[in-house]
Amino acid sequence: MLEEYKKFALRGNVIDMAVGIIVGAAFGTVVQSLVNDILTPPLGLLTGGVDFANLFVVLQEGTPEAPYATLQAAQNAGAVTINVGVFINALISFLIVSFAVFLMVRYVNQLREPDEGPPPPKSIKKCPHCVSDVPIQATRCPHCTSDLPAPEPTEAA
């Protein structure tokens, strides 16, 4: 059983998944710092000095009673709060992470896509009289029975 577990744990996809989780956690820390330390302060200045981390609504006061200068002070007093600023920070983090993942997946998909050759030969044409689709080799329209121009010769490769 130990040998079977060793084979399972050392399989490539298990190790890849573990590396992905570790890198993802580190990436999440970097994004969290980007939001909290880089993006939130300028956004706070644009909104009149509002610090998103301390943007909250008190539902029930604690002891001592409100007003509370910070979210931490409200929590220490035992107040029940809706933490709007924490949610806004989490939303900004999510948007940044999802956009970064989108860009990464888009880049990987571009690397995987095979080089497309020339477009496939045209197999249908439009009847100039009834505008129906007809096979490219047809000389008479099956819909309106009009004569069609002769098909163009194709190049043999």
| Residue-number span of the structural domain to which 36 is assigned | 6-112
131-152 residue pLDDT tens: 888 988 888 999 899 888 876 6
Report d(CA 22, CA 20) in Å as an integer: 5
Report which residue type is found at 16.
Answer: D
Examine the domain organization and report whether 80 and 127 are in the same domain.
no
Examine the domain organization and report whether 49 and 17 are in the same domain.
yes
CATH number at residue 65: 1.10.1200.120
69-103 residue pLDDT tens: 889 999 999 999 999 988 988 888 788 878 877 88
Examine the domain organization and report whether 146 and 90 are in the same domain.
no
Examine the domain organization and report whether 103 and 131 are in the same domain.
no
Report d(CA 116, CA 28) in Å as an integer: 37
Report d(CA 28, CA 38) in Å as an integer: 15
Examine the domain organization and report whether 62 and 137 are in the same domain.
no
Examine the domain organization and report whether 96 and 20 are in the same domain.
yes
Report d(CA 54, CA 42) in Å as an integer: 15
Examine the domain organization and report whether 127 and 99 are in the same domain.
no
> Is residue 126 a part of any domain in this protein?
yes
> Is residue 140 a part of any domain in this protein?
yes
Examine the domain organization and report whether 16 and 93 are in the same domain.
yes
> Is residue 1 a part of any domain in this protein?
no
Name which of 102, 10, 157, 136 is nearest 148 in CA terms. Answer: 136
41-77 residue pLDDT tens: 787 788 776 667 888 999 988 888 878 988 999 999 9
Q: Specify the pTM.
A: 0.52
> Is residue 86 a part of any domain in this protein?
yes
> Into how many domains does the chain fold?
2
Examine the domain organization and report whether 22 and 78 are in the same domain.
yes
